[in-house]
C-alpha cells in the first residue's frame, strides 16, 4: 500500500513538472533532455496531453490575434530609440 502512495506522488510530481514546463516546451526554450522528458510524459499521460493541447491552442489563437493588430506607424521607431541606450551599455 505504501508503494502505491509513493507511485501516486511520483506520478503527480511528473505531471506537475511537465505542466510547469509546458509554456517553455511550446516555445522550444527547454534543453533537448527536458524536451524529451516532457514529450515522453505527454505520450503516456492523457490528462497532461489535454492540458497541453489546450495551452497550445490558446497560444496559437493569441499569436494569430496579435498578428492582426494594427500598430501605430511610429511604434517600431520608438522601440528602437528606447533600446539605443541599452545597446550602448552592452558595447563597453
Please list, residue by residue across 1-34, b when 16 or more beta carbons sit within 10 angstroms of its beta carbon and e when fewer do.
eeeeeeeeeeeeebeeebbebbeebbeeebeeee
Dihedral sign, Cα of residue 44, residue 45, residue 50, residue 51: negative
If one counts the domains in the chain, the total is 1
pLDDT of residue 52: 93
CA distance 38 to 16: 11
Cα 44 to the center of its chain, rounded Å: 20
Q: pTM of the predicted model, to two decimals?
A: 0.59
Cell output for 26? 511550446
pLDDT of residue 48: 92
Domain range enclosing 26? 2-90
pLDDT of residue 69: 82
- pLDDT tens-digit profile, the chain (92 residues): 333 333 344 456 688 888 889 889 998 999 998 898 899 899 999 999 999 999 999 999 998 998 888 878 788 788 888 888 655 555 44
Amino acid at each position: 500500500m505504501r508503494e502505491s502512495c509513493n507511485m501516486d506522488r511520483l506520478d503527480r510530481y511528473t505531471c506537475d513538472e511537465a505542466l510547469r514546463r509546458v509554456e517553455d516546451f511550446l516555445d522550444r526554450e527547454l534543453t533537448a533532455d527536458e524536451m524529451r522528458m516532457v514529450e515522453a510524459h505527454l505520450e503516456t499521460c492523457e490528462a497532461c496531453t489535454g492540458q497541453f493541447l489546450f495551452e497550445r491552442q490558446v497560444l496559437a489563437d493569441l499569436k494569430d490575434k496579435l498578428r492582426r493588430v494594427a500598430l501605430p506607424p511610429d511604434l517600431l521607431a520608438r522601440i528602437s530609440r528606447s533600446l539605443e541606450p541599452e545597446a550602448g551599455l552592452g558595447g563597453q
